[in-house]
Amino acid sequence: MQRIWTLLAAAAAAAIATTALAQDVPATQGASEPEKARILALIEAAKKEGSVTYWDVVIQPETNDALTAAFLKYYGLPSSFKVNYQLLATGNLVTRVEQEIAADRVTVDIAAVGSPPWVFERANKGDALEYESPQYQFYQQAIANGLGKKGFFAFNGAYLFVPMWDAGRTNFTGKSWNDVIGAVPAGRITVGDVSKSVAYLATYAGQKTILPQEYFKKLAAMKPSFLVRSEQIAGRVVSGEDLMSFTGMPTRAYQYNQKGAQLKFILPQEGVVLLPQDMFILKKAPHPNAAKLWIDFILSETGQAVLVKGEALVSGRAGFKSPLPEYAPAIDTLNVIKIDWEKLSTQELEKLRSEWTAIFNP
């Protein structure tokens, strides 16, 4: 009898502890009882996994640190829980993920990259884990517009490449893509290297729908430099090595301006290509429970606030108020070039890459 009472007492204590945890963890605040139970079960499973690994092409180390701290607090995870992150160029991320999938030796849990056709391909080929995050309800419009796939992925934030310059060196008042042509002397402008980047390739695919081939020949005649990393592109404009970038990134303008730079950019009136950082869990992720928590957190209002403040990315979350509207405006205020990302095949993209390379000869 004593043993029975001991077991009952232990069960009661565990129930009380679980209830207390549900009340203390920010992630469960306002959630239904079934949702609280789901979150708590994931938390316990994630603790046993001990870590989560994600690869990204935009998030900088400082933002990762802020996200990690907020993530641990959001779920009440111990400080011993590790968030392993790598910042990669788009092409490198794509190559490494494909290599791990092909070798059946997946080490990464989550990949986030601004190449929607590639992510759709991963989901359609069965390489992405099917997971219906409860946060997807706030991304229904973005998913309906082809920027995500129900049950598989949404985007942690979207970015774009647009004309950017240093106001202290260049007086540019244009509002159109056409105004860029001849705006600075030949040899003093950079262009994202489409031959090496899937993100710039996706951007070119969209731009081609509103700009004729002759436009890009005129741009090539300006003898641009070709770069991949957006940080390097912004740095060269800040230093004066370049007077303008055709593929500047508002995220980098924000980050450099925080340090005293005077970077400006335009959102051309003809429209911009919005690149969603589509984020998915690999089907054979080694830490699937922790990965689900990370996805839920990043897409939550708390996670979006940290991410947008750090990276000036455009949020796809309905009703989200951007803390940086100058750099990361509300998604419904943008003139976005419409692209059917899911139908844009790898073969079509490779043809566009070859076309671009023939024009620019990087």
The reply to whether 29 and 153 lie within a common domain is: yes
CA nearest neighbour of 224 among 197, 202, 248, 208: 248
CA nearest neighbour of 187 among 221, 229, 137, 148: 221
Pairwise CA distance, residues 301 & 139, whole Å: 12
Flag whether pLDDT at 13 surpasses 50.
no
Q: Is residue 191 part of a domain?
A: yes
pLDDT score at 357: 97
Flag whether pLDDT at 14 surpasses 80.
no
DSSP, residue by residue, 66-115: HHHHHHHHHHT--TT-EEEEEE--HHHHHHHHHHHHHHT----SEEEES-
pLDDT score at 332: 87
Q: Residue 102: which residues within 8 A CB-CB, separation 6 or more?
A: none
Flag whether pLDDT at 1 surpasses 90.
no
pLDDT score at 5: 44
Q: What is the pLDDT of residues 309-325, one digit of tens each?
A: 999 999 999 999 999 99
Q: Is residue 230 part of a domain?
A: yes
Flag whether pLDDT at 3 surpasses 90.
no
Q: Is residue 334 part of a domain?
A: no
Taking a C-beta distance cutoff of 8 angstroms, is the pair 74, 46 a contact? no
The reply to whether 81 and 225 lie within a common domain is: no
The reply to whether 297 and 352 lie within a common domain is: no
In the predicted model, what is the mean pLDDT of residues 120-128?
96
Q: Is residue 178 part of a domain?
A: yes
Confidence of residue 83 (pLDDT cuts 50, 70, 90): very high
The reply to whether 98 and 6 lie within a common domain is: yes
Q: Is residue 42 part of a domain?
A: yes
Decide: helix, strand or coil at residue 323.
coil
In the predicted model, what is the mean pLDDT of residues 216-226?
97
Structure tokens at 159: 């970015």
Flag whether pLDDT at 137 surpasses 60.
yes
Rounded to two decimals, the pTM is 0.82
Which residues constitute the domain of residue 166?
Answer: 162-273+339-360
pLDDT score at 23: 53
DSSP state of 277: E
The reply to whether 191 and 120 lie within a common domain is: no
The reply to whether 176 and 246 lie within a common domain is: yes
The reply to whether 234 and 351 lie within a common domain is: yes
Q: Residue 82: which residues within 8 A CB-CB, separation 6 or more?
A: 50, 51, 52
Taking a C-beta distance cutoff of 8 angstroms, is the pair 352, 208 a contact? yes
| Burial category of 140 from C-beta neighbours within 10 Å (exposed 0-12, middle 13-18, buried 19 and up) | middle
Structure tokens at 8: 């009952």
Q: Which ranges of the chain would DSSP assign to H, the alpha helix?
A: 2-24, 33-49, 61-75, 90-103, 116-124, 140-142, 198-207, 213-220, 230-239, 250-257, 288-299, 301-311, 346-360
Q: What is the domain-level CATH number for residue 322?
A: 3.40.190.10
Q: Is residue 136 part of a domain?
A: yes
The reply to whether 229 and 153 lie within a common domain is: no
pLDDT score at 193: 97
Flag whether pLDDT at 101 surpasses 80.
yes
Confidence of residue 145 (pLDDT cuts 50, 70, 90): confident
Could you tell me the sign of the dihedral formed by the alpha carbons of 6, 10, 11, 13, in that order?
positive
The reply to whether 61 and 189 lie within a common domain is: no
Percent of the residues in the chain that have a pLDDT greater than 90, as a whole number:
84
Pairwise CA distance, residues 180 & 164, whole Å: 10
Q: Residue 275: which residues within 8 A CB-CB, separation 6 or more?
A: 114, 115, 116, 158, 159, 160, 161, 199, 202, 203
Decide: helix, strand or coil at residue 246.
strand
**Number of structural domains found in the chain:** 2
Q: Is residue 333 part of a domain?
A: no
pLDDT score at 15: 40
In the predicted model, what is the mean pLDDT of residues 81-85?
98
Pairwise CA distance, residues 339 & 337, whole Å: 6
Q: Which of 6-10, 71-75, 357-361 shows the lowest per-residue confidence on average (mean pLDDT)?
A: 6-10
Pairwise CA distance, residues 285 & 139, whole Å: 24
∠ CA 224-229-233, rounded to 5° = 45
Flag whether pLDDT at 331 surpasses 70.
yes
Residues in a beta bridge with 245: 164, 190
Q: Residue 241: which residues within 8 A CB-CB, separation 6 or more?
A: none
- Considering the chain, what is the average pLDDT of its residues? 91
The reply to whether 214 and 288 lie within a common domain is: no
Q: What is the pLDDT of residues 177-204, one digit of tens each?
A: 999 999 999 999 999 999 999 889 999 9
In the predicted model, what is the mean pLDDT of residues 285-289?
98
The reply to whether 323 and 261 lie within a common domain is: no
Buried b (16+ CB within 10 A) or exposed e, 76-109: bbeeebebebebbbbbbbbebbeebbeeeebebb
The reply to whether 306 and 204 lie within a common domain is: no
Pairwise CA distance, residues 278 & 301, whole Å: 17
